[in-house]
């Protein structure tokens, strides 16, 4: 993560971890291999993984009964709630396209990446984990081209020509 710990805490909010039911682990689906909990905008989510490439997100905690049905990834509305925590100069969340030159790689192959734009700073959020995946200010965006682009030759003109040749 390239965002600061303080920014990640703002995104997470202040969830009521102490209010998780004592049987929270038993609420996981049968056959789950891995369980993790994370917070986003003050809500607690349970991330269940069966095997590589398959996951299920469930809202956990005291509000779980009124929560939406389990799903694979976070939705744009979930991220919007977190965006409000960054301040008034932040716009609505947008989905980052797969071809976006600044897109952060998500934890799961098909997971969406969301972007919160606050002035000239972009925060990329992983739709699989709710994690603050990247913080891109103008200097980080320039660095992407000057260092990353030059060392990996990851320029749109080259990658599109390479894809066409395959």
pLDDT at residue 152 in the model: 60
Q: What's the mean pLDDT in 17-39?
A: 88
Residue 138: Cβ-neighbour burial (10 angstroms; 0-12, 13-18, 19+): exposed
- pTM comes to 0.81
For the chain, the first-to-last Cα distance in angstroms comes to 32
Strands of the sheet containing 54-60, edge to edge, are 34-40, 43-51, 54-60
DSSP code at position 134: E
Q: What's the mean pLDDT in 14-25?
A: 87
The answer to whether the beta carbons of residues 82 and 41 sit under 8 Å apart is: yes
Q: What's the mean pLDDT in 27-42?
A: 90
How far CA 104 is from CA of 6, 68, 87, in Å, comes to 20, 27, 22
pLDDT at residue 108 in the model: 92
pLDDT at residue 52 tops 60: yes
pLDDT confidence band for 36 (50 / 70 / 90) = very high
Q: 101 versus 41: which is more confidently predicted?
A: 41
pLDDT at residue 95 in the model: 97
pLDDT at residue 87 in the model: 85
Size of the chain in residues: 166
Q: How many domains does the chain have?
A: 1
DSSP code at position 47: E
118: tokens are 């606050």
pLDDT at residue 49 tops 70: yes
Summary mean pLDDT of the chain: 84
Which residue has 């996981």 as its token pair?
A: 28
Question: Which of 31, 29, 51, 47 lies closest to 39, judged by CA?
Answer: 47
Q: What's the mean pLDDT in 25-31?
A: 84
Q: What's the mean pLDDT in 36-62?
A: 88
Task: Supply the range of the domain harboring residue 138.
Answer: 5-165
Kindly report, residue by residue over 98-157, the tens digit of the pLDDT: 988 888 899 998 999 999 999 999 999 999 999 999 999 888 778 767 766 665 655 555
pLDDT at residue 68 tops 80: no
pLDDT at residue 67 tops 80: no
């Amino acid at each position: 993560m390239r965002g600061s710990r303080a920014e990640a805490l703002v995104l997470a909010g202040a969830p009521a971890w102490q209010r998780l039911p004592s049987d929270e682990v038993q609420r996981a689906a049968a056959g789950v291999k891995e369980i993790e909990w994370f917070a986003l905008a003050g809500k607690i989510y349970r991330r269940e993984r069966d095997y590589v490439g398959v996951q299920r997100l469930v809202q956990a905690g005291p509000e779980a009964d009124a929560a939406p049905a389990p799903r694979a990834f976070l939705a744009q509305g979930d991220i919007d709630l977190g965006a409000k925590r960054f301040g008034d100069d932040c716009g609505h969340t947008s989905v980052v396209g797969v071809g976006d030159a600044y897109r952060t790689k998500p934890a799961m192959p098909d997971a969406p990446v969301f972007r919160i734009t606050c002035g000239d700073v972009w925060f990329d959020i992983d739709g699989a984990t709710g994690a603050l995946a990247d913080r891109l200010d103008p200097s980080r965006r320039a660095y992407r081209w000057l260092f990353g682009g030059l060392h990996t030759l990851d320029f749109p003109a080259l990658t599109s020509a390479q894809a066409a040749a395959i």
